[in-house]
Structure 1
Amino acid sequence: MPGSDMLMRIDDAGRVIECSPLACELFGWDAADVAGRSVGALLDGAVVEGARHRPGCGGADSMLVRSVPAGSSVVWEVCAAADAVSKEDLAILRAMFNQSPVGLHVLDDRLRIVRVNTATRGLRDVPAESLVGRVFTEVFGLTAPEKEEETAREVLASGRPVLNRLVRSMVGAVGRRPRVYSVSYARLESECGEVLGLIVSNVDVTERERALQRLKTLEHVRACVGERLEVVAVCEELAGAVVPAFSGIVVVEVIEDVVRGEEPPLAPVDRDIPLRRAAFRGLRSAYPVGEVRKLPYGTPFSRVLTDLRPRLVPVEPDSIWLEADAPRAESIQRSCAHSLIVAPLSVRGEALGVVSFYRYREEEPFDEADVALASDICAHAALCVENARRYTRERTIAATVKRRLLPQQPATPSTVAISHLHIPGPGGGGAWFDVIELAGARTALILGDVSGRGMDTATTMGQLRTALHSLAALDLEPDELMARLSDTAARLAEEREALPSADPLHRVPLAAGCLIVVYDSVEQKCAIVRAGHPKPLAVLPDGSAATMCVSAGPVLAGKGSAPFPATAVSLPPGSTIVMINEDLPVPLGPLLETGARRPLGDLCDALAYALRDANDKEKMVLLARIEALPADQVLTCPLPAEPRAAPLARAAVRRQLETWKIDEETAFTTELIASELVGNAIRYGAPPIRLRLILDRQLTCEVSDTASSAPHLKHARTIDENGRGLFIIANLADNWGTRYYADEKTVWAQQTVGAN
């Protein structure tokens, strides 16, 4: 029977199902004639004037109509209301149900959903109509639905609200992670005190709770790890602090020299350096704690020791790196591990070891936020191990010299993306690379290798690299640049031969190889010259890979005076140039073809995995993905070989710089530079004359002509009428120079760009 303030129930066809005595009294109906009749027909004869009502519970002119689920259909209840709802109340209710970010559920006294707001539908990602009539514990798929139903019924019975109760959901569809909700219950009552149901609010606090759990884990690690000073003890503290709070399985492996009190190697770590399994927590260990072994190359564990970058690695049965370590692969399979984070133990770029965090079975997979936490955990653990570091001084010096001689921050041209792979060989080596930005939106990509190993090889590498930078500043063509570098290597070889016979270096011949690629992003061409190096490879945007046919030159410091021929190659934008210092033992074609549009860093990892067994020599691979300089950043203007060329050049420069929105000071300076360069070309050059402006990271002004005469900077006296052109340019520009081709020369000047 309906509640005391319920007037009637009406089905979806408009027929009266139930009618209370109060309703019959209010409308003047005979209770025996109401059931089953149309409410419209009844209301036509209803007596409402002078109708009585109960104080405080509404009257005939104050009613509430609401929908109530009834099996597969809906019935309507007409109830007396205390007072008419105000506009403000309606606005508040409308905002709560349409705009509030908090999910709201209105439940009846049977805990069935009567109404939900917009946020609730968004949280569940299902239509609202599919929620109405269902028990709320079924909608969220809670881990403990019986407990939540018990809590809800306690609130119904007692009227005491329950606030901010953390409730966890079960794993839903494939790929959906469990969620955590903050749920609050409050009882709904009528004006007369009748229990109508519950209002349940819920907020998804999954990310907040995960962040709090990560913070708690990090605080626990900082409190527990580092109480003892022994390296192995610190590793055991680390394993105990993270299991099971962060991962179900953890493996801590430390470089053996660090355990013995020696200094750690600088990254990249030589693959021959053994590591000790210092600590383990979990189900099954592939190797016993305390065992000293080398890490198989071509796995995430060895790659972390190469670049000190943590990795989130999905564990799949067909993962190629599992093939390199059969015992570890078997252990992973038996423990049902499905997610892995490999993070380095490092301090100031020095590698101490590697930590592997596994989650298995029903544990949630790791995500990127977990990678950040793993990095913080390992950073603290590395600081605690730092005092244990001891290493032989001689090897440390050699490693430090090699590290410092390699480019610390390679140039990053706007039209060339760079990534490199360095695989150290036994005892080090002399492989190196360089990226040098040249005038005219050109980039020099250089890969070199000096034979030998140790300190002497590292210093020779540094001498050649320094000489190459000095020669590149002269803006020489690649073949001439290589010839000058060969002369430098020959002089170093002569100095080595002149050493006393007792000096060990006297008996070691000097030999070096080099590969130079100069990419012109305006012309989209490469000029390539090689000396004692394998041919470079090109991966085109369509995925096809091929070796570039580049003429070979002799090794540097070799006997004789053979030329170094340059080869011109045109490549479409988006191509990747692959430069290698040694012939590789595995075919790279299939691997490179699958990586045409992959990030270069990922391609480097794939190359490292493929070369995990190539440990006989040091390997250096330079990857360069080239792009064209946009055409609207280049102005090319032919000029007549007569005096009116200078004002024509100034006008063209002025118009173009206005289009590029270059500031007035730079524009005025560029006009003056262009005028002086064109004037010199008319006076001392030969037609045709061409002006070119290039806007990249710097503003370059070039004037070309076909004369072979070389411009010479003069310091004109006060009374001289000529000789001031290049002097003015040298003072106005940041840099200037001359570039020679087979049939023309180009005089250029660069300035720092400023915009309005």
Structure 2
Amino acid sequence: MGTDAEQFLRRLARELRPRTDQSVDVLLTRLRQELPELWEHEDLSAMAVTETAGHVTAFLDVLEHGTDASETPTPPEALELARAFARRGLSLSTLLRAYRIGHLALLQQLQAEAPRLTDDAELVNAAAIRLTREGFAYVDRGSEQVVGAYQEERDRRLRRRLALAAEASRRIGSTLDLTRTAEELAEVGTEDFADAVTVDLLESALHEDGPPPHPGTGLPLRRIAQLAVRGTSFAAPTGGVHHFPPRSAPDRALATGTPARHTAEARDGRAAEGADDVFPSVLLLPLQARGTVLGLVRFLRGPGTAPFDDDDLHLAQEITARAAVSIDNARRYTHERLTALTLQRSLLPRHTAEQSAVYVASRYLPSGSRAGVGGDWYDVIPLSGARVALVVGDVVGHGLHAAATMGRLRTAVRAFADIDLAPDELLTHLDDVVIRMQREEGHGLGELSATCLYAVYDPVSRVCSLASAGHVLPIMEHPPGTDGGDPAEPPIGPPLGLGGLPFETAQVTLAEGSLLALYTDGLTQSRTRDVDAGRAALSAVLAEAPEGPEEICDRLLATLAPDRPADDVALLVARTRALDPDHVATLDLPSDPAAVAGARAFTTERLAAWGMEELAFTTELAVSELVTNAIRYGKPPVRLRLILQSTLTVEVSDAGSTAPHLRRARTFDEGGRGLLLVAQLTERWGTRHHREGKVIWAEQALPA
């Protein structure tokens, strides 16, 4: 009977094969009735038609040829449908149920066809038993392979998801540049995930102002980055400002901060994007960091690509959450950097006053690293007696605190320079200022630190005096064919803020036209060059530079810092000038009140030679009072010096250390008015001390 049943099933299969299409239609009708959700996806329903036909053909082959159903390979269409289910994130149980329903319907068709071919009830019964056994073997074998294909695809998607998440973590936020971070998000998103990605940030988030988003407001956004794997035209250009229509899906996602997945109609796609290309499947992911909505990221898939599923939405949320933190960090860094840079530039001298002692040019170049703006500074300070102070310094650290500290130190240096302190004394007082700042801010000794170089150049004597607090010494270059002394290099003192250690002043006589380059270490030090090589390159540029200081600054930056430097650069280049000896007049005076008349006569004669008779009265008065004070209260030797440069300066020096001061003379006082008269009749006056005594000076503006 077994052989008869097998022969009967072969006949049954041959009879049913011409009507395969009818059998497929019956099975599909049954599936539509019992699993309507399967037909919600057009691509899956089309695959189900092919897959069903493949199963009918394969099972009829098993019956007709008598092959072992448990060894029969599952049709490729069935495996592809299983993979499609996995890609869509659909339930495996739904797939297996459809599998069982389809095979049951096919068995029922075969069993219904058997009585039409024979009236032998025993043969029909034996064939039914064998048919059921073969059917279960086929279903078991097919289910095993379908489940394997489904799990394999799920595992592949999981690995891809983990790999994409890891890649996003590695690549997004590699810099603190806002635009580059958004571009990295778009690049990662279009690699085996989306056909296009757009990144928009709220204008209010970019400018740290403006109200938070509200539903239906159509807030303005700036397109930071966009990328498509295929040629796609976007309505909003990169860098352009646009807005989504109020109450549109993107606008709602922005307002609520809720991720969304939707399939857009063609008209909706155009309305939302304004592009010619339509994206049927869209993920809308608000960029949220620290409880604030910063903007919106859209992942888009075009026709012919599987729509996004819930797993895709979760993956996109994970990527976007990582990117949002990086974008917020970049945004905050950019804002702080701009604030620090604005503060830094506002504290640096915008225009250096014209000096008779030096031709000077300066540059400040902020770093290109993520550390932020540093505390580098420079200054040019006019001093009495036609002298000038050149300053360069560097506060350790970066950011707003370093810039603010730099401003406080620069102000302190100017205050100390105004009382004409020697370089070593000035740095000692500045060291005290830093130590006091440390205490005020609760820092330990040395936690707040800075370096500073202070140099004073006198165009009359051509002597440059300098001292360093932890700062690199300047590069000096003398003109060819001139005699210029090399400085008895002072030991570079400790950085400011340590206290207790002395600073030393060195002096060097410079030939007229000598070059001095004061700089911070960001100019000479880099990842590819050590400090010595940098100083050698700097010296080479100065040695070959006949140009003025402005051109020299440009050449130095082009040679030593062609790209954005790793650290800030402050650069000050000065070419020295020598005051014409005919513009300096000196007279040694005896310590005798009768010498005052001779000092006045000397002054009158010299002013006449200079063509400055208009200043004779006030200058004689100033000379008379200053010389009288020096003879009466100071110590010999007493010397009068007149300097004609951009101003007319009267200097009286003596060996005493007692400094004069203004006081209010009472009605019947016989003295006390001389210095007050000098202060009223001249533009500036002051006292500077040196190791041999002091100098009292007064300046007047030259006639127009």
Who wins on radius of gyration, i.e. which is larger? Answer: 2
Greater per-residue helix proportion: 2
Question: Greater relative contact order (Cα 8 A, min sep 6): structure 1 or 2?
Answer: 2
Greater per-residue strand proportion: 1
